[in-house]
Structure 1
Amino acid sequence: MPENHLHPPTSLQADCRNCFALCCVALPFARSADFAVDKAGGTPCTNLLDDFRCGIHTDLRHRGFTGCTVYDCFGAGQKVSQQTFDGRDWRRDPAGAGAMFEVFPIMRQLHELLWYLNESLATAAAEPLRDELRDAWDRTVQLTDGDAESVARTDVDLHRQAVNGLLLQVSELVRGAVPGRKREHRGADLIGAKLRGANLRGANLRGAYLIGADLRQADLRSSDLIGADFRGADLRGADLSGSIFLTQFQVNAAKGDASTRLPAALAVPPHWGESATRPVSDRRLPRGAQRRRRAPRSR
């Protein structure tokens, strides 16, 4: 059974020490503002060392690999490495490398769903859905516990659709408790929008494009942020405490400071600067840089 979202299960937190650098090998990326070079899926990054560490880890952002510094696998890396493949890495077992690289992105999506379900189960407003949420949690865990062949056969889109129906109901319950009219911005193009100081409490921002948006001092409490694209968004002074379905992946992609209020389950990204890592009552301190690439959008 999942733990309270204030202390998310360690199984849903990336542990690069117990992963065979799967995000640095299995996933492709294209030369862009996020990555300095092109890399095909299944090909090791040229910066990857023999011990599965990154050779430029402390200098990734300056070397053009910003996308790596904000990626989060929700713990799928160590799950695939240590459980699905019993600690056999792709270098020592090249025959199994293809299967490992196929399973990793599927496992990541399932772990992302577990993150949302764990949060939902810890949300008081979602009490009427408790049994259904527990069933969804158990079904998803069962999928992640399968062998490589069964995980690879998982119809993630179908399973996500079923879980998302529950998450939508959780969203309605949480946002419905906020008095007054709530803004509807689901899937909206808010790229570069000037939303400084905006009252977005209880807003529906599912899948919204907030790339480069000015959200300084905005109130995002009780807002649904699942799949919202915060790349380059300015969250300095914004209040995201109590928002729902926000992930480390999204926070890492944004800009913030010591006055940004985050849900307790999320860490202050190291690249926000030393001033942003001072303890705040409703957030935990960072555990270190996270790797990131673009995630499938949930709406």
Structure 2
Amino acid sequence: MPGLSSVAIIINPISGGARADTAPARAQLAIDAVERHGDRPEVFITERRGHARELAGAAVNRGMRLVIAWGGDGTINEVASALAFGEVPLGIVPGGSGNGLATELHVSRRADEAIAAALRADARLIDVGEIEGKRFVNVAGIGFDAHVAALFNRPDNRRRGARGYVMLAARSLFSYSPRQYVIDANGTRVTVRALLVVVANGTEFGNRILIARGARVDDGLLDVVVVEERSRAASLCRVPWLVTRSIHRVPVWSSRRAPAVTIECDEPMTFHVDGEVVNGGTSLTARVHPGALRVCV
């Protein structure tokens, strides 16, 4: 097919709890959708963590006009991280348990529709967050949020989706110990005993669980959300507020917008970027890169 532009589709075959043997069917669907649009498809299947980032970087070097990531938040993060600050846009096929950025950008859950929309869309710019050198496009979290993400990502975890996430969160609250943080944003330092601290580009964790009401992926700012713990009983009672997308109404929730934030703690902090868990130090700095990523959705 000489003269046609090339489109890369990077597929995580096991995202969302899918069986690896579904990869050929996903690949064929992607090939058919791209060829119907008149482009040349190149399909790649990820084999390990970090592979999607490598494949996306290679696709850019081969001159692809668009790179479509088919998978969950972790796969989207890897591909977006490789495309950030470049000219090649990201397309998304939501295939994970959370699908936070896909939901934020109103991407269809049907793969054929998502691919078709990406192929015909004009690119728009969205922000990219960065915390300790790790990029994120949806949310980064510290504290209980990262603790639950680590449990959720374990290979032996069979509880997927919103119900699984909330059940893990409720069960883990009984044993989790909140920490005291010093948060510096916009030149104001606040000391708080918090259940979690979220640095948000988008509005939700995924699974339709709202955490940063009013956040925008293209405003050049991060939303720094703090959920304090004043008593364990009160925290347990507020778990349902996450499910009903009403956590912003409880008095322990607060949010402020800033281009950068530093979070300090007496102990090393575990954090996550778009659900992928990272072990950090006693001081973490996050900042926003305005308009650093092109997306076609």
TM bracket (short chain): under 0.3
The structure with the largest helix share of the pair is 1
Using structure 2 for the length normalisation, give the TM-score. 0.27
The structure with the largest strand share of the pair is 2
